[in-house]
Structure 1
Amino acid sequence: MTKPEIISWLLEGDPSIRWQVQRDLLNARPAKYELERRKIAKEGWGKRLLDLQDSSGLWGGGIYGPKWISTTYTMLTLRLLGLQTNHPQAKQACKIFLDEGFYTDGGINFFSYSLKYSETCVTSMILALLAYFRYPDERIHAIASFVVGEQMSDGGWNCESPKGATHSSFHTTIQRWRDYMNMSVSSRKRKSKSAKSAPVDMNSCWRIACTNRTAQARSSTQR
């Protein structure tokens, strides 16, 4: 049980904290916490970030870089804060993601000057943002299909697979499932495809988490 003094302390914080405390810890009615959530764009951390968007719709002067302050990472932060899905500044950024990044293979490629394929992790992040902010564009379905198509034979994902990776990355897989599930939640009123994965068990988690070398070493010690 959460102590009352901790709740009081959290409620003294930013609107992005307060609305989630009301929803997740206090079980407040949607009308109450959504009222608090709307303040994110008007005060505190959310407003400070929104005020940094330039007239072209970008943050930090770029779409993916400079890392952490660019449009992609600012939008990811705004999503975590809980910015409302219909915010026009977020919609403007979503349009940029698609217009500048949608690639011939159906994914997102902001690096076509050096890469001739879409990067799985970046594509998944953009997919999650487009779904969260409910951007209305048919290209989103192609992006979702691209991400599902990148699933490896062991059931996971690895951003290094185009470079020859033969097994999934635990980190990449968890991130991709989180992004994919966010899309599913945001699009729950529409029928969506599910990833072609067998039920996850501890052996699957071990195989995905380990590198080939680690797995081979573990196998040799058990003989």
Structure 2
Amino acid sequence: MVEPDLAAWLLDQDPALRWQVERDLLHEPDDVWQATRARVATEGFGARLLALQDDDGQWAGGAFFPADFDFHGPEAAPGAGQPWTATTWSLNALRAWGLDADVLRARHTAERLDESCRWEYDGSPFWGGEVDCCINGFTLASGAWLGADVDGVAAWFVEHATDEGGWNCEWVDGSTRSSVRSTLNALYGLLELEERGGGTDESRDARRAGEEYLLRRGLFRRLSTGEPVAEDVDGYAYPFHGHYSVLRAADYFRRADALDRRGRDPRMADAVELVRAARQPDGTWLQRERYPGRVWFHVDVPPGEPSPWLTLYGTRVLDWWDVV
């Protein structure tokens, strides 16, 4: 149960977050959270980002990067950060905030992107995907959400899984090993497709193999040494922007369990305890950082402050894991 003061704080947030609190933490009737969710299109973060859409369906004039991005300038220097304003990132945000896809369908967004949006890497059509596993995971999720034809992207994941069962964006440079980050972003795309009634036997098998890749590692350990795959797997920042953490991975498995009903896998136990250990005495999770890079506007608190978004995710994971 969420303490009353914490619940009141979470409810006093943008509709994009509030409806998820109502549905997932407070278990309000459907008509309550659905009414709040409908406000995402007309209030707060969702309305602001919708207003920034270009006439051709894109955001910032580009697929993964803004049209004015200088690949040789200061913004492209190491440590400068990925710009988070282009079409991929804007669709990711609206989808995560629960925007009704019909809002973008009414704008013919999928069709307009098919006509106008091309990947910076090779100029290929937006809904055809790219060579990067993470980008393709985002594209698959957004395409499934908007009803675009992304069957080819789903098939791409079947073809490009490693022998370990996961994926790695560096396969184009010859890597044959999987990456937890690439694998998680691929899994989110495949799961979104299935949640919306799509997918094939092959893509479902690929998703489960990818899940097994993460579970064999307890979501955060190297199979060879048992050491964490990175120093920051238990450091959390919102927006996630596709970065890997045990919090984001655990929330994936919570969501997958809602679809598959296969239950909680005990191999996740140590990862969930990392999530629990980050909870503050008042029930909140702190924002660790803001990932560098251009944004339209900030949607969460500065580093060091209690994060409503991370608190939603952390509480949701523990509520799922701790259920009797």
**TM-score category (smaller protein):** 0.7 to 0.9
Secondary structure of residue in 2 paired with 1:126: helix
| TM-score normalised over the length of structure 1 | 0.78
AA aligned to 1:205 is R
CA drift at 1:100? 5.3
After superposition, the CA RMSD in angstroms is: 3.1
Counterpart of 2:171?
Answer: 161
Query: Judging changes above 3 Å, is the alpha-carbon distance between structure 1 residues 82 and 170 closer, same or farther for their aligned structure 2 residues?
Result: same
Secondary structure of residue in 1 paired with 2:169: coil
Query: Judging changes above 3 Å, is the alpha-carbon distance between structure 1 residues 110 and 98 closer, same or farther for their aligned structure 2 residues?
Result: farther
- For residue 142 of structure 1, the aligned residue among 121, 144, 152 is 152
Counterpart of 1:124?
Answer: 137
CA drift at 1:33? 0.9
**1:180-219 equivalence runs, <5 A:** 180-187=190-197, 190=198, 192-193=200-201, 194-196=204-206, 197=209, 200=212, 204-205=216-217, 210=222, 215=224
- % identity of equivalent residues: 28
Cα offsets for 1:142-190 (capped at 9, x unmatched): 2211122111111110011121002101111122112211211122xx5
- For residue 80 of structure 1, the aligned residue among 79, 87, 96 is 96
CA drift at 1:215? 4.1
Query: Judging changes above 3 Å, is the alpha-carbon distance between structure 1 residues 69 and 47 closer, same or farther for their aligned structure 2 residues?
Result: same
Counterpart of 1:106?
Answer: none
Number of equivalent positions: 202
- For structure 1, list consecutive stretches of 5 or more residues without a partner in the other structure: 103-108, 219-223
Query: Judging changes above 3 Å, is the alpha-carbon distance between structure 1 residues 81 and 201 closer, same or farther for their aligned structure 2 residues?
Result: closer
CA drift at 1:10? 1.3
Structure possessing the higher radius of gyration over alpha carbons: 1
AA aligned to 1:75 is L
More displaced stretch, 73-82 vs 201-210: 201-210
Contact residue 57 and residue 89 of structure 1 kept, 8 A? no
Counterpart CA distance in 2 for 1:191 and 1:12 is 38
Counterpart of 2:7?
Answer: 7
- For structure 2, list consecutive stretches of 5 or more residues without a partner in the other structure: 67-82, 125-129, 228-324
CA drift at 1:41? 0.7
Counterpart CA distance in 2 for 1:207 and 1:4 is 32
Contact residue 168 and residue 178 of structure 2 kept, 8 A? yes
Secondary structure of residue in 1 paired with 2:135: helix
Task: Determine if the alignment matches structure 1 residue 38 to structure 2 residue 51.
Answer: no
Cα offsets for 1:69-95 (capped at 9, x unmatched): 011101101111111121136864433
Query: Judging changes above 3 Å, is the alpha-carbon distance between structure 1 residues 100 and 124 closer, same or farther for their aligned structure 2 residues?
Result: farther
Query: Judging changes above 3 Å, is the alpha-carbon distance between structure 1 residues 31 and 63 closer, same or farther for their aligned structure 2 residues?
Result: same
Contact residue 165 and residue 213 of structure 2 kept, 8 A? no
Contact residue 170 and residue 205 of structure 1 kept, 8 A? no
More displaced stretch, 40-49 vs 61-70: 61-70
| TM-score normalised over the length of structure 2 | 0.55
**1:85-104 equivalence runs, <5 A:** 85-88=101-104, 92-99=108-115
